Homo-oligomer: A and B are copies of this chain.
């Protein structure tokens, strides 16, 4: 027996028991005649005592030479502590050691295994197995486990069947780039790793499975932005014989259940908002609605007053900041400089202070009378004491800028309360977007998304106005999941492919099997997929997904711990019938 108890369970009631403990040395306090060691395992910390008088000499001598992170096994008796530590579960007792074995020594770790470590990001990634020893990461992984167990239980209880779909599938140019896998048994041919199990879950619906789910890895070979991973995990779901309303209700219940179970937090009915409204009022399709600061458009009432900047702008839009009329020039300049940074790219901010005494002071007083400004205040729903920020320019551009400005101000002034969850369905997404680069329509969601029944008639003449049966779930400004009701009619599907400028050949090559399947009685169906990494982070009250992944990759897609990707041997490539291009060797 390597241990009789773990390091997190001994209590006063165990005093006098003979115990065997094993674990890592967290901390050593050596007073010369007495040595205390904090022994750590997954379950907690137990204080060990080595006493020159009460411990065997051999044991005491070994203890003197132990270092941090050694793995040791001890046996001894549980005794009551003189000075108790209420901060840890085992704080009432300690173990007087009478035998010890060093199971494994340890080099000095490259960073401290403490809640707040002295290790930088890169170092902690390289030694991720040591980082996982830290409470923060360990607890995050356990938290993730709890969330997935709860998701599985809930979905299973609701009739969803967990079905594994294949990982070695077929490359399709839809969406992002595929990772591909050369086939040795079929030389010159390649599998692709799934960007999502989309087509397979639809085939399961054609197969009559009715309700499917899977917590599944997906792969996208994208240029990585901060906090994106080339492999990531989805909670993937699909249902048959449902409409959009059924799906929104079903998964609203899932998320409410999760937040109740995991965070002990009761959610109200989820807010719903059209894509158009979200863009208009928040400048983004994933608004954080924990706070107001809604955008309002004053274009009509701000042009023609001789202020050239506004006069030459497509749109003039702003939002109020509550109780901020007393901002100093310096504070206002901070945000003016903030929007000027290249990532935001605005020219500046027009500001208006709506003073407590109802006077107005603005950066454009030269051009606008108090009456005009007061009219604007009404449009912005600003009250005395508020500050209003206004941007002008091309509508699409400034909406994005305003959305980011709004979020960052809220962050800075503490309006993004991490103890509040504000979920929101965004509905009525457009079906297509026009791509300037390729001069053609692209699917906003994916090519299997169905248009709204009532918009089918304008598909040909006004495709950009067609709304989709597509929805996103947003929590606190983060997109948590998205999905759609699929097209189950093969004629309509063909029409959509045509609008997407996919030739019959391309369609047949890439999706032939799906089109074929739809000819054998496809049921109406739809689904949703949640980004598990992000969902877990949000439920955990954080936004950095990497801290909730056991072995994440860095921003160049590398695992610096195992040093992968790496070169492979020539004969391995020979077997696969591929070679590396010369200039890369």
Contact = CB atoms under 8 A, between A and B. Distances in A.
A513 B128 CA distance: 11
Interface in A140-182: 141-142, 144-145, 148-149, 152-153, 156, 161-171, 173, 177-182
Contact of A558 (B70, B186, B513): B186
The size class of the interface chain A forms with chain B is 35 or more
A391 interface: no
Contacts of A224: 185
Contacts of A567: 188-190
A562 to B, nearest CB: 5
Given A168-B230, A181-B181, A186-B565, A580 B581 contact: no
Given A169-B562, A557-B183, A69 B241 contact: no
Contact of A106 (B3, B519, B575, B576): B519
A332 interface: no
A252 interface: no
A148 B162 contact: yes
Given A170-B565, A243-B2, A488 B104 contact: yes
Given A156-B149, A519-B106, A557 B185 contact: yes
A541 interface: no
A235 to B, nearest CB: 12
A562 B241 contact: no
A553 interface: yes
Contacts of A550: 163-165, 200, 204
Cβ-closest 3 pairs across A and B: A132-B207, A106-B521, A188-B584
23 contacts: A22-B523, A42-B210, A71-B523, A104-B521, A106-B520, A129-B520, A130-B206, A133-B208, A138-B209, A145-B163, A149-B152, A164-B217, A167-B219, A168-B231, A169-B564, A170-B564, A171-B572, A173-B572, A183-B557, A185-B223, A188-B580, A189-B567, A190-B567
